[in-house]
Structure 1
Amino acid sequence: MWWRRREQILFLATGVLTVAGVAGWVAGGAGIATAAWTAATVVGLLYSTGSLAVAVRRRQPSVDVIAWLALAGALAVGEVFAGAVVAVMLASGALLEARAAARARRELHALVARAPRTARRQTPHGAVEVPVDQVAVGDRLLVGAGEIVPVDGRLLDDAVLDESALTGEPLPVTRRAGDDVRSGTVNTEAPVGLVATTTAAASTYAGVVRLVEQAQAGSAPFVRVADRVAVAFVPVTLLLAGAAWLAAADPTRAVAVLVVATPCPLLLAAPIAIMSGLSRAARGGVIVKGGAALERLATGKVLLFDKTGTLTGGRPALTDVVTPPGGLDADEVLRLAAGLETVSAHVLAAAIVTAARDRGLPAGGPHQVREVHGYGVEGVVDGRRVRLGKAAWIVTGQAPAWVRHARRRAALDGSLAVFVAVDGAPAGVLLLEDPVRPQAPRMVRALRAAGIARVVLVTGDRAETAEAVGRVVGVDAVHADCDPADKVALVRAEQRHGPTVMVGDGINDAPALAAAGVGVALAARGATASAEAADVVLTVDRIDALADAVLIARRCRTIAAAAVGAGMGACAVAMVVAAAGHLPPAVGAVLQEGIDLAAIGIALTALLPVRLHTVAMRPADVAVARRLYTEHRGVRALVEQVRTVADDLLDPPFDLAPVRVLLARLQAELLPHERAEEAQLLPIVARALGGSGAAGALSRTHAEIEHQVSRLRRSLEDLPDSAQPEDVVDVRRVLYGLYAVLRLHNAQEEEDAFSLIPARRRAPVSVRS
């Protein structure tokens, strides 16, 4: 136990002896003072001897020889006060280094202590507690109040969760039924049910535990450079001390040079700054596997992104519901489909359930649910038999025109089509796509501002889809249809432009992450091979945390250089003054202590809060923005209906009654929402971003939306419900134009406005825009 506290014991012993000596000297007891200072010097010399012996045994160069010579020289020439101060300086440096390392380890390992061990599986006979390793995908679990979520899953009930162990956010977060929830979070209120979507070994918390075990603060390149400089500093110091001794024929002058030459700023400032960076990154949900990785992140110039799950959300979102003429309406098809998917662990289930919830559609409880591997799922919802899956399982024989149209549309948009049958008859097609993360374009701009010179998109997806995402995000180059070997080759090819940083989240990204200068993995939704291969892991589902991590890394490296430069510069000046005979050993020792503390203080500024790239919003503004975002999600279905109504006018008979119903909804629902955003949301955006650029662009599209709706109203004024082909040309043109403007406007709002909203019930954080 005492060996684990050796730095504290050393600091206490040298400090008490030095203070006792000062007290004795003030009281006139010169003998007591000399004895106390001598004892402190001897303690420091013994510790320094032990450190040198360890370095020799490991065959590592060490600059502790300077401290050893200063302590031995102080004893030899009788400058025991100087020796005592050097001993205190040595002890304080060792203690600060140990404390900084312990703090970094403590903040990282705090995650491990809360790892779940058991789960409560729901059975026909009630909840049964089982080891967490026995939970299988699809199991229904019960999580009581105050219990830890054992595996990743999908909520069956609304819940209020404490996610601080994963995200660092101190306040509970509200999650609704159908939302995905990660293992390691804590249920803070009533018991809730969930469907397991992963096993314990593949869950988020298990991955975090493994990552923490790897995330030990190793020696960063800057720290290793500091070590080499310090070793080169030894012969220079010895030559200067020897010259001062020979010039004055006085060994005391050599001791004075050695006392002020002890390179504590070089040895301690850089590691403390780097470890402080690791600590700050960990608090933001970014685990950096060592100081070397942090420094490589700081020097990165070329950033390569995978697309799916990185620049895009990685989870499909419902874009539209296509239904046959005269069949069930789109909302009813979606409601029945969502009711069936509430108990499914399929990757598409969450998107369908969430879409129904956003439209305010109550999902009924399913019965007789059966999954058919490779085809889909079926069951009974509100007395109707519902089937979801592939077209071949839903549509038999020749596909009708509306199905062919849905397939063409899915191919054109790069969407995924899920077919729905109700009571044995095809009832609709759900179109889903993987949207670009709203934060991604701002994040790329922030990275460029932080010093990233080149951004490259590397993906296995089709070229058309990849190029569309690349244009939205703003990359310099796009490489599509890449397999893992292609990604590795591209990473190596891009290294000619500068140090590389590769970002990905899938198993196929692992080789490229390992090949890059720095590999960054997104592991917020579970542990993957990419997280094991990466140097930096984001445990929060927020891609803009990468920009924050880069800014933290660059700031810590700058602070480390400043601390070392200031400390060693002051040491060099003091050495010259001491060699000239103008700095006695005792005064030099006190001066050196001040230099050390100043350098370490500079290094510790890396722990201070810093403005990053995320935007601060006032609580009142956050509440307004959230309300408007809820309305924004609610009108998405109305926006897609504009396209659906326009498509229905392609073939006779040309019935304009649905167009008039649509116009009434646009005037009653859409326009009031857009006017509310103009009056309330745009001032919030201007305040948050410190200017009116984004707000001005959004205001212009608000005006265009009003204009297009007005054109639609005028084009319908003199037309009967049953129109001729020439009558619907302008109507269809206006509808398609309105649809295009609405899609663009909604994307801009989500990027420039709604992406600024912090997570629900999260304290606002000030950061750089």
Structure 2
Amino acid sequence: METTRTDRFKTAILLLAATGLIAGLAFHFAGQSDLARRVWFAGVVPALAALVVEILRSLRRGEVGLDIVAALSMSAALVFGETLAAAVVAVMYSGGTFLEAFAEGRARREMHDLLSRVPRTATRHLNGGLEDVPLDGIAPGDRLLIRQGDVVPVDGTVASETAFVDTSALTGESLPVRLTRGADAMSGSTNAGEAFDLTATREAKDSTYAGIVRLVEEAQASKAPMSRLADRWSLGFLVITIGIAFAAWWFTGDPIRAVAVLVVATPCPLILAVPVALVAGLSRAAHFGVLIKGAGPLETMARIRTLILDKTGTLTDGRPRIVSIDSHDGMAEDDILRLAAALDQASQHPVAQAIVAAAKARCFMLPVPSEVAEIPGEGVVGHVEGRQVIVGGDGFVASRVGRRPGDHPAMAAGSVLVAVAVDGHMAGHLVMSDPLRDGAGAMLDGLRREGIGRILLATGDRADVAERVTEGLGLDGLRAELAPDQKVLLVLSERKNGPVMMVGDGVNDAPALAAADVGVAMGARGAAASAEAADVVLLVDRIDRLGPGIEIARASRRIALESVIAGIGLSVLGMIAAAYGYLTPVEGALLQEVIDVAVILNALRALRIAPREMPGTASVMPGQPA
């Protein structure tokens, strides 16, 4: 609401200034010069008054900006009778601020799209019927109906056979994603297919999309170090401008040259280019599923030299997968998996759930187990279709069937061996591992090309496991068996090599994320603590989005610097020309407006940044079988 009122006020000031300029020109060409000067004067006064009020507010906040140059140029032009020049400056300055507001609005469009899609209600199944409930009335376990076109209101799991969701607003994926029963559905995605049922797993306030909205609001309110640096530069530019204007008047005795110098410097690209380019970068990164919490982290992200990665859930997927199934008693591999998964339905252990997910991915119908007994940390015993089944660690199962556990030929560091016995005989083994995320190797190669000098792994896991998993990645260092405080020390020690980025997903990573110059959290499945501590959140559970995020940050910063250098250079040349009498005040105002428009248009190039190594469109979401 406040932003709308401000935009309306800026529009009204622009209209008053433009009306005064045009009406004065009409009277001037009609031969009524005195009346024209009075009309121009009247058109300048509202813009000058609004500008003085803004300057006083800035000074009260301890900020000295280039608005002072605009006020001086308009005031000087009125004092020395250059009312046409003053009217042109008033139109150009109010037009510049209006154009800046329009450009920032254009740059924030992707973020605004995220905010504008927040649902207000949801449809819940209740006693055989449906009811509309507010979002804060949804509790974990509620069964919701997601109609075609509805935005998924809370995080949950698909309770129907299939669902097709559009995640483009969150991740930039252009194609709908197919989810099967039990797959995770992220709040904020849109139902692109037939209606489906969703079982809520979180309250609305704790869901992914609610967190994204909070982070976007924080990002919109931020101010980048480059913006603060621009404020400091503006003081130097102000001194230079006044110095050139005073010198022109002193050495020539012509105050009009001083007015022309002031006019050329108003407004300055220094205060236009930086915020527009960086906000455009934030918006562009959000389009690709990289939510940067503010312009400050974006600017820092562009200067990163060292990257530290957590292993489990970050560099690896964090969910064990079946690598191979070995039969020892002639039983078919599918039967071993089906019986093991049927029994593991009764367990909440991550390995058990991974086995169940693998069976469902093969479309197996899993019977309900009976007489189930789970020994925590060891395994599960029960009956499936009248057969006794034992699933668990190799030693646990071997002891139950009177066999010695032994080394498995397919076993390697980083793998998990799950034994399966049926009716007292060792049926086979499931070899499972936590693999690297898709595209991890290519992402690291791309980051090195982007200028990342050191890439380290920091994990609490054993060294042999970490070495096996990361073999061939060409890491610059590996630190294993680290406690959370040791990860923090690693981050602090690496700062001697330049700004450090830490990437993690668990609660134990939160301190290191907060200590890093830029902390990055895996937001799709990562812990809330890590997302809160981080400066950047990857909205989709894909580590390969990190490369495009850094590339966008660096391109945005480069565009901002290009705009500032080119704009200030042209302004200084224009001021020198005005000081030597080659530009009149009116010509100087028109020249500066051309410079300002060019600077803003160049800054908006950040909206078209196309990462060179943007990962291909994914059709598989976390929780969906590949």
Letter matched to residue 365 of structure 2? A
Q: Could you tell me which residue of structure 2 aligns to residue 413 of structure 1?
A: 413
Work out whether residues 455 and 475 of structure 1, in 8 Å CA contact, stay in contact via their aligned partners in 2.
yes
Letter in 1 for 2:619: R
Q: Pick the structure with more helix per residue.
A: 1
State the distance in 2 between where 1:538 and 1:236 align. 44
Larger mean CA deviation between 339-348 and 203-212 belongs to 339-348
Distance 2:432 2:118 in 1: 35
Report the Cα offset of residue 460 of structure 1: 1.1
Is residue 2:73 matched to residue 1:56?
Answer: no
Q: TM-score, normalised by structure 2?
A: 0.89
Matched, 1:245 2:249: yes
Hey, what's the Cα distance between the residues in 2 that align with 1:566 and 1:127?
Answer: 61
Residue 509 of structure 2 is aligned to residue 509 of structure 1 = yes
CA offsets per residue over residues 668-688 of structure 1, 9 Å max, x none? xxxxxxxxxxxxxxxxxxxxx
Kept in 1: contact 2:108–2:280 (CA 8 A)? no
Looking at structure 1, the residues matched to 304 and 461 of structure 2 have their Cα atoms a distance apart, in angstroms, of 26
Q: 1:404 aligns with which of 406, 425, 439?
A: 406
In 1, Cα distance between the equivalents of 2:94 and 2:320? 57
Give the one of 244, 260, 263 matched to 1:259: 263
Q: Residue in 2 aligned with 1:366?
A: 368
How far residue 136 of structure 1 moved from its aligned partner, in angstroms, is: 6.5
Q: Take 2:108 and 2:445, find their aligned partners in 1: how far apart are those partners?
A: 32
- Aligned residue runs from structure 1 range 415-454, under 5 A: 415-420=415-420, 422=422, 427-454=427-454
Identity %: 45
Q: Does 1:759 align with 2:618?
A: yes
Q: 2:121, 2:391 → 1: CA distance? A: 34
Q: Which residue of 2 aligns with 1:224?
A: 228
* Paired position in structure 2 for 1:532: 532
2:324 to 297, 320, 323: 320
| Residue in structure 2 matched with residue 207 of structure 1 by the alignment | 211
The gaps in structure 2 that reach 5 residues or longer are: 622-626
Look up the match of 1:311.
315
Task: Give the number of aligned pairs.
Answer: 616
Q: 1:373 to 1:137 in 2, by over 3 A?
A: farther
The AA in structure 2 aligned to 1:459 is T
Shift of 1:601: 1.7
Aligned partners of 1:74 and 1:251: how far apart in 2? 9
Closer/same/farther in 2, CA of residues 132 and 75 from structure 1, 3 Å limit: closer
CA distance in 1, matches of 2:396, 2:169: 44
1:501 partner SS: strand
Matched, 1:578 2:437: no
Q: Which amino acid aligns with 1:50?
A: V
Change over 3 Å in CA distance of 1:501–1:394 after alignment to 2: same
Q: Which residue of 1 aligns with 2:72?
A: 69
SS at match of 2:482: coil
8 Å CA contact 1:217, 1:289 repeated in 2:
no
Which residue number in structure 2 is paired with residue 672 of structure 1?
none
Structure 1 residue identity aligned to 2:236: A
Report whether the alignment pairs 1:33 with 2:69.
Answer: no
Deviation sequence 1:355-376 (CA, Å, 0-9, x none):
3355x45223536697958466
Deviations 1:328-352 (A, max 9, x none): 3321121234456679766446633
Return 5+ residue gaps in structure 1 as ranges: 616-756, 763-769
For residues 36 and 337 of structure 1, do their structure 2 counterparts lie closer, same or farther at Cα, with a shift above 3 Å needed?
A: farther
The whole-number CA distance in structure 2 between the counterparts of 1:513 and 1:607 is: 28
- 3-state SS, counterpart of residue 320 of structure 1: strand
CA apart distance, 1:472 = 2.7
- State the TM-score, normalizing by the size of structure 1: 0.73
CA shift for structure 1 position 397: 4.5
| Residue 215 to residue 433, structure 1, CA distance change in 2 (3 Å) | same
Q: Which residue of 1 aligns with 2:49?
A: 46
Q: How big is the shift at 1:424?
A: 7.6
> How many Å apart are 1:69 and its aligned residue?
0.5
Residues 207, 427 of structure 1: CA spacing in aligned structure 2 closer, same or farther, 3 A cutoff? farther
- Distance in 2 between residues matched to 1:610 and 1:280, nearest whole Å: 9
Indicate whether 1:294 and 2:153 are aligned. Answer: no
Shift in Å at residue 592 of structure 1?
1.1
Greater relative contact order (Cα 8 A, min sep 6): structure 1 or 2?
Answer: 2
Residues 254-276 of structure 1: per-residue CA shift (max 9 Å, x gap): 11111112252011111111111
Structure possessing the higher radius of gyration over alpha carbons: 1
Contact 2:524/2:541 (8 A) holds in 1: yes
The 1-side partners of 2:268 and 2:606 are apart by 18
8 Å CA contact 1:302–1:501 kept in 2: the answer is yes
Kindly indicate whether the alpha-carbon contact (under 8 Å) linking 1:277 and 1:606 is maintained by their aligned counterparts in 2: yes
Letter in 2 for 1:613: E
Aligned counterpart, 1:333: 336
For 2:170 and 2:352, the matched residues in 1 are separated by 24
> What do the CA deviations read for 1:589-644 (whole angstroms, capped 9, x no partner)?
111111111122211111124242136xxxxxxxxxxxxxxxxxxxxxxxxxxxxx
Segment drifting more, 10-19 vs 270-279: 10-19
Change (3 A) 1:587 1:393: same
Shift of the alpha carbon at 1:116? Answer: 5.4
Task: Report what 2:496 is aligned to.
Answer: 496
CA contact (8 A) 1:41 1:84 kept: yes
Structure 2: distance between partners of 1:351 and 1:244: 78
CA-CA distance at 1:159 after TM superposition: 1.6
Q: Give 1:500 deviation, angstroms.
A: 1.0
Of the candidates 256, 259, 279, which is equivalent to residue 275 of structure 1?
A: 279
Output the amino acid matched with 1:7: K
Asked if the contact 2:501–2:517 (Cα under 8 Å) also holds between the matched residues in 1, the reply is yes
Task: Work out the CA distance in 1 between the residues paired with 2:552 and 2:55.
Answer: 34
Aligned to 2:406, the other structure's residue is in SS state: helix
Deviation at 1:94, TM superposition (A): 1.6
Distance 2:389 2:503 in 1: 40
Residue-by-residue CA offset, 1:515-544 (whole Å, 9 max, x unaligned): 111111110225521111111111022222
**Alpha-carbon distance in 2 for matches of 1:399, 1:298:** 61
Distance 1:361 1:250, change over 3 A: closer
Letter in 1 for 2:513: L
Counterpart in the other structure of 2:624: none
Native 8 Å contact 1:203 1:526 kept in 2: no
Q: Specify the code of the residue in structure 2 equivalent to 1:52.
A: I
Cα root mean square deviation, aligned: 3.2
